[in-house]
Structure 1
Amino acid sequence: MHISKALASALLVASSVTTACASQQVSQFADSPRQLVLEDYFLGETAAYGVFEDRFGKVRRQFKVDITGTLDGDRLTLTEKFKYDDGERDTRIWEIDVLGGGAYRGTAGDVPGLAEGQVSGNAFNWKYKVDLKVGDSIWNVGFDDWMYLMDDDVLINRAYVTRYGIEIGQVTIAFRKPAGR
Structure 2
Amino acid sequence: MTLSRIFAAGALALAIAGCSTPTPETYAKQSPSLDITRYFNGTLDAHGMFQDRSGEVIKRFVVVMRCQWNGDTGVLDEDFVYSDGTRQKRVWTLTKTGPGTFTATAADVVGTARGTVSGNALRWQYVLALPVDGKVINMDMDDWMFLIDDKVMLNRTAMSKFGVNLGSVTLSFSKRPATGAAPQ
Question: Which TM-score tier does this pair reach, normalised by the shorter chain?
Answer: 0.7 to 0.9
Cα deviation, residue 80, structure 1: 0.3
Normalising to structure 2: TM-score of the pair? 0.86
Alpha-carbon deviations, 1:145-176, whole Å to 9, x = none? 11000011000000000012111001000000
Q: Structure 1 residues 61, 29: CA separation in 2 closer, same or farther (over 3 Å shift)? A: same
Unaligned runs of at least 5 residues, structure 2: 180-184
Partner of 1:31: 29
Q: Using the alignment, how far apart are the partners of 1:137 and 1:180 within structure 2?
A: 41
Larger radius of gyration: 2
Decide whether aligned partners of structure 1 residues 72 and 21 sit closer, same or farther in structure 2, where only a CA change above 3 A counts.
farther
Which consecutive aligned stretches of 4+ in structure 1 deviate over 3 angstroms post-superposition? 19-22
Pick one of 132, 135, 151 that aligns with 2:133: 135
Flag the 1:135–1:21 CA change in 2: closer, same or farther, 3 A. Answer: farther
Count of residue pairs the alignment pairs up: 170
Please give the root-mean-square deviation of Cα atoms over the aligned residues, in Å: 2.2
When the two structures are superposed, what TM-score results if normalisation uses the length of structure 1? 0.88
Number of the residue aligned with 1:86: 84
Conserved? CA contact 2:110–2:128, under 8 Å = yes
Distance 1:44 1:71 in 2: 9
Does 2:101 correspond to 1:103? yes
2:182 is aligned to none
Deviation at 1:72, TM superposition (A): 1.3
Residue 57 of structure 1 corresponds to: 55
Aligned residues of 2:76 and 2:93 also touching (Cα < 8 A): yes
Assess if the C-alpha contact under 8 Å between 2:42 and 2:176 holds in 1: no
Structure 1 residues 42 and 73 mapped into 2: Cα distance closer, same or farther (>3 Å)? same
Consecutive unaligned residues of structure 1, counting only runs of 5 or more, are: none
